[in-house]
Structure 1
Amino acid sequence: MDIHAAIQALVASNSALQMESYQNTEVTLIDHSAEIFKTLTYLSSLLSSMKSPLGTRDNPARICKDLLSCEYKLSDGKYWIDPNLGCSSDAFEVFCNFSAGGQTCLSPVSVTKLAFGVGKVQMNFLHLLSAEATHVITVHCLSTQSAGPGWPVSFKGWNGQIFEENALLEPKVLSDDCKIQDGSWHKAQFLFHTQNPNQLPVIEVQSPPHLGTQRKLHIESSSVCFL
């Protein structure tokens, strides 16, 4: 083979390899650019959903007030929240009372049970994100004989503090017919409103031991609302 022809063949081969390498690099850069664009699009969508949540199961708000501050107007009703903003799988449904300033209201699992189906972590975050809380308890009572003066019960709050008559933590008495001693069922209604949200909800109603079987009780719980 002629030396010049060999050199020309070598140069041509090297040029072809360089072109192939350049094309492969270009393809790789295009692939990386596409991945970066997809990531940026996802992050943009995530930030947008956090800034303007929809209150759905897939896009929950932290609390109802977050929905109230959105640009679009929403009606009172049921929405999904996730106070700790972790995985949306632990989000839960609440009633948002926008008419009352954006209250987040948790319904009891049953009106006769002081349980709300929300874990401690989520409840603690809800407390941290709130400035006040409200809860109404109705006590239905049946007295078989005179049980003396005073309320028939005391109340244990979420953080273990006790609400009772003539104490620092004393609920507002909305009505009290339990003082009537006629052998019939009556009721007393108590409003708990506190600027220390971790005191609520009420988790236990306690009847004084000295009453024994003289008085029969059962309770009715409203929703507990945080603002």
Structure 2
Amino acid sequence: MYLSDKPNSLLIQTLLDSLHQDLCLFIDPPDGTKKHPATTCLALWLFQPNFTIGMYYIDPNQGSPADAILVYCDFTAAPKTCLSPLHPQFGYPGPDVVQMRFIRLNSRLTSQNITYSCQPGNRQGPGEREVKFLADTRRQSYLGTLRYYGSSEELDSGDRHESGFQFESEDLDLHPLRDLAVFGSSDLTQEFGFTVGPVCFS
């Protein structure tokens, strides 16, 4: 039986806890240190609008600051929380599964860049290869094309040629990218490589 005049003690306690947490943030706002991390870089910027871009601690699940993670905060345009990969791999140090879930819950957009580098010295003519990028879900992927242009003289000049792949999505589960595979003709002897950029949430 429900009694309308009986106070809901659980609801009251939840509201009091929420008000207490909000009051603590105004009295002692986050400053991006290990002891006082914000939930995201956007939250840090809202409390500290004069902060410059750089490395700061965040704690997306707002539990104990012991599991706070160090991220790159990009405050240009819309503030972004960026996680750098382990160079040159697709591993991302810092957030565990829970923290990553909370980063996604506090974001609406994700982006990541990968740069393709062509080394000089190739004597092949124009050609192309397909490249597949594995999404974080490991069930989805992006497909792109690498195109090779230029004469052998241009490639022998010693200049390094680069081009980039830009990924942006509102489906936050797609990033960070986890792997890539290159397909194509075996007669292309061009030496190439990839640089994995940070994954950013905004």
Matched, 1:163 2:142: yes
Q: Aligned partners of 1:181 and 1:116: how far apart in 2? A: 38
Q: Aligned partners of 1:80 and 1:137: how far apart in 2? A: 25
Please, which of 58, 81, 87 is the counterpart of residue 35 of structure 2?
A: 58
| Higher relative contact order structure (alpha carbons within 8 Å, sequence separation ≥ 6) | 2
Please, which of 116, 119, 122 is the counterpart of residue 92 of structure 2?
A: 116
Distance 1:114 1:131, change over 3 A: same
Tell which structure's C-alpha radius of gyration is larger.
1
Length-normalised TM-score, structure 2: 0.71
Aligned residues: percent identity? Answer: 28
Contact 2:127 2:148 in 1 (8 A): no
Length-normalised TM-score, structure 1: 0.64
| SS in structure 1 at match of 2:112 | strand
Distance 1:147 1:155, change over 3 A: farther
Which deviations, in whole Å up to 9, do the C-alpha atoms of 1:118-163 show, x marking residues without a partner? 32322222122111111110112355645843x4412112122211
Q: Aligned partners of 2:161 and 2:182: how far apart in 1? A: 16
- 2:62 counterpart letter in structure 1: L
Shift of residue 81, structure 1, vs aligned partner: 0.5
Contact 1:155 1:206 in 2 (8 A): yes
Matched, 1:202 2:177: yes
Distance 1:154 1:71, change over 3 A: closer
| SS in structure 2 at match of 1:190 | strand
Shift of residue 226, structure 1, vs aligned partner: 0.9
Which deviations, in whole Å up to 9, do the C-alpha atoms of 1:56-95 show, x marking residues without a partner? 1011111111112226532222210011222222211111
Matched, 1:218 2:196: no
Distance 1:122 1:181, change over 3 A: farther
RMSD: 3.1
Unaligned runs of 5+ in 2: 1-18
Please, which of 92, 102, 118 is the counterpart of residue 125 of structure 1?
A: 102
Shift of residue 52, structure 1, vs aligned partner: 2.8
Aligned to 2:113: 136
Contact 1:124 1:198 in 2 (8 A): no
| SS in structure 2 at match of 1:124 | helix
Unaligned runs of 5+ in 1: 1-42, 167-175
Distance 1:180 1:156, change over 3 A: farther
Contact 1:157 1:202 in 2 (8 A): yes
Alignment size in residue pairs: 174
